[in-house]
Structures are given as structure tokens and as C-alpha cells.
């Protein structure tokens, strides 16, 4: 490639097509006829006049306009060495101002950073890419860096330069594909985007910053310069304790929340609550209800409310719908101070096609696969990440670590894992490309998921990673070194499907579907399961949980109490979507608040009380959580009474003497003198009866408990004879 002369360089800069304007602009040594001098050049298309001011001596060097587009130059003949300077500009409107020249600063990113980014191993790339408020050579400003390896030119644009892509053209750092510039004087709150000229020299793309920490509220889409390191955390006790707790052997009861619709303020235009309001209202509610964790539908920035956050644009930006990054940090902090963990839904499986997003980022398919058979998601009309590209994989893994690091998040629930694992997911024959072995498994996605889990757990002890994986893929929650995907836990979608199908049946027919109750115990310990009744089950015509139940109003409430009682006594951690606990009649609507007024009616208030008591018992009884993932923690008493739709079983703690006996009657027929076997000869206290009057039941029961008899039954050494209430779950605890 031939060396360009100055005139050609100037032409490229003036036309905003230069790959490294720093080669020409700024201050440079100059030698003519053996004489050393200093030259300063500046492209100032808004300027009528310009001058250079030596900040040490205050000497002023008037610049000459050498190109009518606004290219200025001055040769300082009396200077041999580089000196510190500022530019003074007079605009065509007569306004005068001074500023440090962005083109007088050396690169911020070093060779080691560039090497790690290129290698795909820069685990905290969010500390280097994006917009960062720093001091560079003693001058405060904002450093911008973006990966766009196929661009011909990249500029930072914003209000500070009238969105003129000629003003702050960036330089590319070698072959790294990283473009950067330090703009002195820019601080927090400045809005910006990247203007990217494609390699063809014609197409221009205006993109939000993939690493932006904050963004404008939709429908606006600019990124916002923000310092996310200024919040003072007060959760040291929680963070230290988190490292010591084995959550697989601890109670985990998750309240799943969509922040936009948990509660609104109808008297104020039906507005959202803010992060600060959630720090009080939601945290207090979850604490009172007894949940151990809050799981939030994605809080990353997204353009369309109806996507619920799952079509993410700003992977590093907490959504501005509810407040600032610090306000969300405060929410997490307050949760931790109240012994509540925070789990975020994370969507690394796909991203939307909005023009300001990641799609076709630098004029090429940079983050996504170019071939639509690999890069387009037919169900959601979105792009699929190219997991085989090391820089893309690094972007996503760094993003996961970012939430653990900067926001003290306790877990990530990874959305739509199955769509990542299978190349033929939701595709017909001929619409997908087999892997190199001819199979349907996405080998690059598997590698990404395994590395995400290995690295996350390696760097942040005590965090959770949870997979929403709807197939029978083996080893989802097994360690990577054993060939698994490495997740902490997996949603049990099969159990959820079987239970909802069973409970939707009229009780008279349930005996024909008894296997729905028992089948899950054949595989319950093959994965670290979370039992879920999630948001997906109460939308799109599926009905609310209460309205799925058959029968009259009393039976609907009795059925849903029985379902929840079985959930809390079945092996596995627990997740309930908001509104399930108060008996919503309507399906979930992301555009309006939950129907909190229902708590003014006794059945709904009693259901809420029931969930509160279930959480209390669950957390206080080790037999319900210590051996969730071992067959040693569960024993059937009787699962054969299909005609009566009755099952009974034992849950055990690590101490086998510590156990609970659970009996479930899933018909509206009370059963008197119902005998079943128990392990111990003692008084069995009835610690929960879903049919109790306090839960709006018929108040049938056993007067607080019953003594077991020395009469073997169901292969147990003893037995108890009880009254079994209709549509109920009853829990008995031995009092030795």
C-alpha cells in the first residue's frame, strides 16, 4: 500500500472516511530542511477561526484554514518539543470557547488488553470497551472504545458535537478491530451513539453502544455516559455469607417478578414504580411472604415493552424505565440487607433486529451468523449469536460476570437454553445446517454455555446459574468436568406440564391420569431441579393458575392450594410467578398492575396466607430442602391408590430421624379412617392442612395431630389412622 500524502489524508478526514485521523490531527513533530518544529492540525467544521494556546506559557498560535470544510493548521516554528495545549474556537455565530484537543492524547488501551480481547479471554472487557469516565494525562473526560473490525470509519456522535460524525472520528488500534477516542471534558449524563461507515464506503449505521451502562428511555435509543462505580454497597455480611452457603442443600423459594406490572400507580397516570419504590414495597412484601429470592424478568435495556425484556439491546445497561443504575444497585443492596437473593433472567440466546442494536453492527454480520439457517430465530424474528466467534463469546461471558461483579447479582436464569443447544430448534428439514459430525447439537453454543458456567462459578463463589431447558438434554446441571453443561439448577418443565395437565382435569377423571403425579419421581434426582409455575403459564390464553382449576369457586381455591402444597413438599427448589399467590382471576397483563384489590376478599387473602405459611414451613424443615437432589431424601409410602387419587410419601433430612409425612387427596371426597404407614411410633403433629379454615377450607382435619400405632402398614413399622380432607395436602411431623 502506498503512503498517502497530507492532502489525501485531509480529504479522507474531511469526508469522514479515515481509519486513523490521529495520524494527521493533533500535535506532531515536523522537520523541514533539518529544522525541527511542531505542527498542530484540527478539523473543526463548525469553526470560523481557531488557535492553539500553550497551557504553560499561555502563548497563542493562530491557526490557518487550509481546507474550506474547516481543516486548520499551525506550524509552531519556535517549538521543537511537544507541549500541552488547548484549542480556542470561534464559531460562525461568533461564540468562543476553549477545549482540550481529543487528538492530542495517546491510546488508552494497551497491547495486553487488545491481545486478550482478540483472544476472547478478556473477562472484564466491560472495564475497557464502551464509555468510561477517566483521567487521561491528568485531564478528565470520557474514553470511548468499540469493536467494529469491518468498519471503514467509526465516530462518536452526540449533542456535544451536534451528532456530526466528522467531529470525533476514532482510530482503529492495529488489527484488533477496536476503535477508540478520549474526549476530554465529557462527563456523566452525555448521550451518544457510534456512527459506523461500512467497508463499502457508502452505508452508514447509527448504533447504540453494546457496552453502554445506561440508555435513554424508549422510544429513544441513545446510550448515556455513566459512572457505575460510585455506589457505596452495604451488603458485606450477605456477600460473605453467600460464599459459605450450599444452596443445593438450602431452602430456595423464588418469587418471579416483572417489574413493569407487579404494582403500578394508577392515580399517577398508571406509572411504573421506581427502583427506589421497589426497594421498599417489593422487598418488604417478599420478606413478609417468606421467599428466599426474587427473580426478575430481564432488567436489561430493551426497546419493546411487549417482549418483557427478553429481546435485549443493552446487555450491560439496566433499563431506564425504573430509574438509574445506582437506584437498581440500591434495590439489590436492600434485598441483601433483608436476606433476599436476587436472580436476573438473562437472554444470551438471541437479540432483536432493531436498527440501533447489535444486528449488522459494522456493516457485516458481526455478532450474528450470516447464514439465516444459523443466525435467524424463526419463532421470535430475532438474530442468533455466533457463539463460535471468540469475541462474541467473550462479550456474553463478560456480560454475565458484569452482573455478578458490578451489581452483586446472586444468580442468572438463562432463558431459552434449548433454542441454543439444538441447530434444528423450531426448524423444518432443510432449514438448518448440521454440525461437523452431522448432528443437530450446536457445538459452539455448548462450548459457550460450559465456559460461562465454569468461569462464573470459578470467579463468584455461591452464585446460581439456572437453565430454562425444556428437553431431556442430559447433564444440564452436572459439572462440566463430568460432561455436563455446568448449571447449578434446571427448571423442571416436565413436572410443571404434568401437574397442570393433571389439575386441569375434573377430579372424577384424575384416577386415569395418576401417572402424572408419580412420573416425576422417576427422574427427580437426575438433575438439580427447580419446580416452577412461571410467567409463561399464565399468558397467551393459558388462563391464570386459579382459572386452570376445575369446579366451582371453592373447589378452584382448594385445588390450587393442593397444587401448591404438593409443589412445596415435592423434591426440588421452588419458583412462583407473581400473582399466583393471591389468586389472580385474569391472565397476567404486562401493561397493568396485579389485581391487588382481590386481597379485600377472604378467599384471596387466605390463599396469600397459605403461601406465606408454606414458605415458613419449607424454610424451617430441613427435610424439605436438605436432600432435594438425592433419592435419600424421598420415600414413597403409597402411590398406588389411583382410584382415590391419593398419594403419601416421606421427606427426609440428612438426619434420617428428621422427617415429614405428607398425604395428598386430590378429589373433593373426604376420607375418614384413612390408614397409611409411618416410620415412627410417636405423636404426629399436623403442621399444615391446606383445608384449614384459615385458608378458606372446609376445616376438616385431625385436631392438631394423631398418635401412630404399632401396626405395620405400607411396609412401614407403624401407621396412623386419619381423616383426610377433600382436595388437600396435609403435612405431619413426628414429635419424639
Kindly report, residue by residue over 219-246, the tens digit of the pLDDT: 999 999 999 999 999 999 999 999 999 9
Kindly report, residue by residue over 460-505, the tens digit of the pLDDT: 999 999 999 999 999 999 999 999 999 999 999 999 999 999 999 9
Look at the domain 631-735 and name its fold.
Immunoglobulin-like (2.60.40)
Kindly report, residue by residue over 561-619, the tens digit of the pLDDT: 999 999 999 999 999 999 999 999 999 999 999 999 999 999 999 999 999 999 999 99
Instruction: Note whether 155 and 170 are within 8 A (CB).
Output: yes
Residue owning grid cell 424463526? 378
* Residue of 279, 369, 377, 391 lying closest to 329 (CA atoms): 279
What single string gives the DSSP state of each residue in 154-211?
A: EEEEEGGGTT-TTTTB-EE-TTS-EEEEEEET--TT-EEEEEEE-TTSS-EEEE--TT
3-class DSSP state for residue 452?
Answer: helix
What average pLDDT does the segment 549-564 reach? 97
* Alpha-carbon distances of 603 from 285, 357, 550, 576, 697, rounded to whole Å: 19, 47, 16, 19, 9
* Residue of 455, 514, 528, 491 lying closest to 665 (CA atoms): 514
Question: Is the model's pLDDT at 553 over the cut of 50?
Answer: yes
| Cβ burial 542-574 (10 Å sphere, 16+ → b, else e) | ebbbbbbbbeeeebbbbbbbbbbbbbbbbbbbb
Q: Which CATH superfamily is domain 111-224 in?
A: Immunoglobulins (2.60.40.10)
Predicted pLDDT of residue 1: 42
CATH 2.60.40.1180 in the chain: give the residue spans. 631-735
Predicted pLDDT of residue 587: 95
Residue 363 DSSP label: S
Say how far apart CA 199 and CA 207 lie, in whole Å. Answer: 16
- Beta strands 293-296 and 139-147: pairing type? unpaired
* Residue of 399, 292, 274 lying closest to 346 (CA atoms): 399
3-class DSSP state for residue 562?
Answer: helix
What average pLDDT does the segment 710-720 reach? 95
For residue 706, how many C-alpha atoms fall within 13 Å in the half-sphere facing its CB?
21
CATH 2.60.40.10 in the chain: give the residue spans. 6-104, 111-224
Residue owning grid cell 403435612? 731
Q: Grid coordinates in use for 15?
A: 469526508
Q: Grid coordinates in use for 184?
A: 476530554
Q: Grid coordinates in use for 152?
A: 471503514
* Residue of 708, 703, 701 lying closest to 730 (CA atoms): 701
Say how far apart CA 374 and CA 395 lie, in whole Å. Answer: 19
Paired with 153 in beta bridges are 197
Say how far apart CA 63 and CA 74 lie, in whole Å. Answer: 5
Say how far apart CA 37 and CA 30 lie, in whole Å. Answer: 5
What average pLDDT does the segment 650-656 reach? 94
Kindly report, residue by residue over 522-535, the tens digit of the pLDDT: 999 999 999 999 99
Question: Is the model's pLDDT at 323 over the cut of 60?
Answer: yes
Q: Which residues contact 718 (CB under 8 A, 6 or more apart)?
A: 677, 678, 679, 680, 681, 708, 709, 710, 711, 712
Give the catalytic positions in this structure.
415, 468
Q: What is the mean pLDDT of the chain?
A: 95
3-class DSSP state for residue 383?
Answer: strand
Instruction: Note whether 731 and 660 are within 8 A (CB).
Output: yes
Q: What angle do CA 550, 551, 554 make, to 5 degrees?
A: 120
Rg of the chain on CA atoms, in Å: 31
Instruction: Note whether 465 and 433 are within 8 A (CB).
Output: no
What average pLDDT does the segment 539-553 reach? 94
Say how far apart CA 8 and CA 671 lie, in whole Å. Answer: 94
Kindly report, residue by residue over 130-168, the tens digit of the pLDDT: 999 999 999 999 999 999 999 999 999 999 999 999 999
Instruction: Note whether 595 and 609 are within 8 A (CB).
Output: no
What average pLDDT does the segment 433-456 reach? 96
Q: How confident is the model at residue 2 (pLDDT cuts 50, 70, 90)?
A: low
Q: Which residues contact 170 (CB under 8 A, 6 or more apart)?
A: 144, 146, 153, 154, 155, 156, 179, 180, 181
Q: What are phi and psi of 223, to 5 degrees?
A: -80, 160
Residue 697 DSSP label: S
Kindly report, residue by residue over 287-312, the tens digit of the pLDDT: 999 999 999 999 999 999 989 999 99
Question: Is the model's pLDDT at 703 over the cut of 50?
Answer: yes
Predicted pLDDT of residue 704: 93
Say how far apart CA 379 and CA 385 lie, in whole Å. Answer: 15
- Beta strands 178-184 and 705-707: pairing type? unpaired
Kindly report, residue by residue over 276-292, the tens digit of the pLDDT: 999 999 999 999 999 99
pTM over 0.85: yes
Q: Give the least confident one: 4-13, 213-222, 345-354, 406-415.
A: 4-13
Residue 422 DSSP label: B
Q: How confident is the model at residue 361 (pLDDT cuts 50, 70, 90)?
A: very high
Question: Is the model's pLDDT at 5 over the cut of 90?
Answer: no
What average pLDDT does the segment 449-459 reach? 97
For residue 577, how many C-alpha atoms fall within 13 Å in the half-sphere facing its CB?
22
Provide, rounded to the nearest whole percent, the portion of the chain with pLDDT above 90.
92
What average pLDDT does the segment 253-264 reach? 97
Say how far apart CA 547 and CA 173 lie, in whole Å. Answer: 60
Q: Grid coordinates in use for 46?
A: 463548525
Which class for 411: exposed (0-12), middle (13-18), buried (19 or more C-beta within 10 A)?
A: buried
* Alpha-carbon distances of 648 from 17, 623, 636, 638, rounded to whole Å: 75, 15, 6, 5
Instruction: Note whether 80 and 354 are within 8 A (CB).
Output: no
Paired with 81 in beta bridges are none
Question: Is the model's pLDDT at 4 over the cut of 90?
Answer: no
CATH 2.60.40.10 is right for the domain spanning 6-104: yes
Amino acid at each position: 500500500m502506498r503512503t498517502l500524502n497530507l492532502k489525501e489524508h485531509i480529504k479522507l478526514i474531511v469526508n469522514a472516511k479515515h481509519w486513523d485521523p490521529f495520524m494527521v490531527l493533533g500535535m506532531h513533530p515536523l522537520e523541514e530542511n533539518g529544522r525541527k518544529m511542531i505542527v498542530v492540525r484540527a478539523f473543526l467544521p463548525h469553526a470560523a477561526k481557531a488557535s492553539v494556546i500553550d497551557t504553560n506559557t499561555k502563548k497563542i498560535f493562530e491557526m490557518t484554514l487550509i481546507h474550506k470544510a474547516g481543516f486548520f493548521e499551525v506550524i509552531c516554528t519556535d517549538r521543537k518539543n511537544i507541549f500541552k495545549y488547548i484549542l480556542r474556537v470561534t464559531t460562525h455565530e461568533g461564540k468562543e470557547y476553549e477545549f482540550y484537543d481529543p487528538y492530542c492524547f495517546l491510546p488508552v488501551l494497551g497491547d495486553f488488553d487488545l491481545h486478550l480481547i482478540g483472544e476472547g479471554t478478556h473477562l472484564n472487557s466491560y472495564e475497557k470497551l464502551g464509555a468510561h469516565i477517566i483521567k487521561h494525562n491528568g485531564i478528565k473526560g470520557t474514553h470511548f472504545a468499540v469493536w467494529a473490525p469491518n468498519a471503514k470509519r467509526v465516530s462518536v456522535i452526540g449533542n456535544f458535537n451536534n451528532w456530526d460524525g466528522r467531529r470525533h472520528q476514532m482510530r482503529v488500534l492495529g488489527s484488533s478491530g477496536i476503535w477508540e477516542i478520549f474526549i476530554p471534558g465529557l462527563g456523566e449524563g452525555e448521550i451518544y451513539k457510534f456512527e459506523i461507515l461500512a467497508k463499502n464506503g457508502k452505508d452508514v449505521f447509527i448504533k447504540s453502544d453494546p457496552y453502554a451502562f445506561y440508555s435513554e428511555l424508549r422510544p429513544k435509543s441513545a446510550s448515556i455516559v455513566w459512572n457505575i462505580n460510585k455506589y457505596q454497597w452495604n451488603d458485606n455480611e450477605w456477600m460473605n455469607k453467600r460464599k459459605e452457603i450450599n444452596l443445593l442443600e438450602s431452602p430456595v423459594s423464588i418469587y418471579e417478578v416483572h417489574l413493569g406490572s407487579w404494582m403500578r400507580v394508577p392515580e399517577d397516570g398508571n406509572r411504573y414504580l421506581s427502583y427506589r419504590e421497589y426497594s421498599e414495597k417489593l422487598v418488604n412484601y417478599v420478606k413478609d411472604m417468606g421467599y428466599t429470592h426474587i427473580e426478575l424478568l430481564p432488567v436489561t435495556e430493551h426497546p419493546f415493552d411487549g417482549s418483557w425484556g427478553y429481546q435485549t439491546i443493552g446487555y450491560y445497561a439496566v433499563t431506564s424505565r425504573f430509574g438509574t443504575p445506582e437506584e437498581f444497585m440500591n434495590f439489590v443492596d436492600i434485598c441483601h440487607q433483608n436476606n433476599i437473593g436476587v436472580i436476573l433472567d438473562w437472554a444470551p440466546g438471541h437479540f432483536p433486529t432493531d436498527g440501533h442494536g447489535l444486528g449488522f453492527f459494522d456493516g457485516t454480520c458481526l455478532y450474528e451468523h450470516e447464514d439465516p439457517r444459523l443466525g435467524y430465530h424463526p419463532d421470535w424474528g430475532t438474530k442468533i449469536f455466533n457463539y463460535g466467534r471468540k469475541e462474541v463469546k467473550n462479550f456474553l461471558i463478560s456480560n454475565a460476570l458484569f452482573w455478578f461483579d458490578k451489581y452483586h447479582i446472586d444468580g442468572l436464569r438463562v432463558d431459552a437454553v434449548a433454542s441454543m443447544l439444538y441447530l434444528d430448534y423450531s426448524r423444518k428439514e432443510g432449514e438448518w445446517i448440521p454440525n461437523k459430525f452431522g448432528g443437530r447439537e450446536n457445538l459452539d453454543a455448548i462450548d459457550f454455555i460450559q465456559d460461562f458456567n465454569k468461569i462464573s462459578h470459578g470467579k463468584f463463589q455461591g452464585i446460581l446459574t439456572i437453565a430454562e431447558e425444556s428437553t431431556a438434554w442430559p447433564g444440564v446441571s452436572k459439572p462440566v468436568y463430568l460432561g455436563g453443561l455446568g448449571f447449578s439448577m434446571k427448571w423442571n418443565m416436565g413436572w410443571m406440564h404434568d401437574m397442570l395437565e393433571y389439575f386441569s382435569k375434573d377430579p372424577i377423571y384424575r384416577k386415569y391420569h395418576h401417572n402424572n403425579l408419580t412420573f416425576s419421581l422417576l427422574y427427580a434426582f437426575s438433575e438439580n431441579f427447580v419446580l416452577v409455575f412461571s410467567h409463561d403459564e399464565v399468558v397467551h390464553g393459558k388462563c391464570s393458575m386459579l382459572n386452570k382449576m376445575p369446579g366451582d369457586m371453592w373447589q378452584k381455591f382448594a385445588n390450587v392450594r393442593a397444587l401448591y402444597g404438593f409443589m412445596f413438599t415435592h423434591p426440588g427448589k421452588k419458583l412462583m410467578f407473581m400473582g399466583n399467590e393471591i389468586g389472580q382471576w385474569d391472565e397476567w397483563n404486562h401493561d397493568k398492575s396485579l389485581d391487588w384489590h382481590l386481597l379485600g376478599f377472604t378467599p384471596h387473602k387466605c390463599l396469600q396466607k397459605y403461601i406465606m405459611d408454606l414458605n415458613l414451613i419449607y424454610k424451617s424443615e430441613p427435610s424439605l430442602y436438605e436432600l432435594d437432589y438425592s433419592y435419600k431424601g424421598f420415600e414413597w409410602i403409597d402411590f398406588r391408590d389411583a382410584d382415590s387419587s391419593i398419594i403419601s410419601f416421606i421427606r427426609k433430612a440428612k438426619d434420617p430421624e428428621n422427617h415429614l409425612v405428607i398425604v395428598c387427596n386430590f378429589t373433593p371426597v373426604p376420607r375418614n379412617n384413612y390408614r397409611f404407614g409411618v416410620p415412627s411410633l410417636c405423636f404426629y403433629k399436623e403442621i399444615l392442612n391446606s383445608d384449614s379454615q384459615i385458608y378458606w377450607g372446609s376445616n376438616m382435619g385431625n385436631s392438631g395431630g394423631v398418635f401412630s400405632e404399632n401396626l405395620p402398614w405400607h411396609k412401614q413399622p407403624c401407621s396412623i389412622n386419619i381423616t383426610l380432607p377433600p382436595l388437600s395436602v396435609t403435612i405431619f411431623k413426628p414429635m419424639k
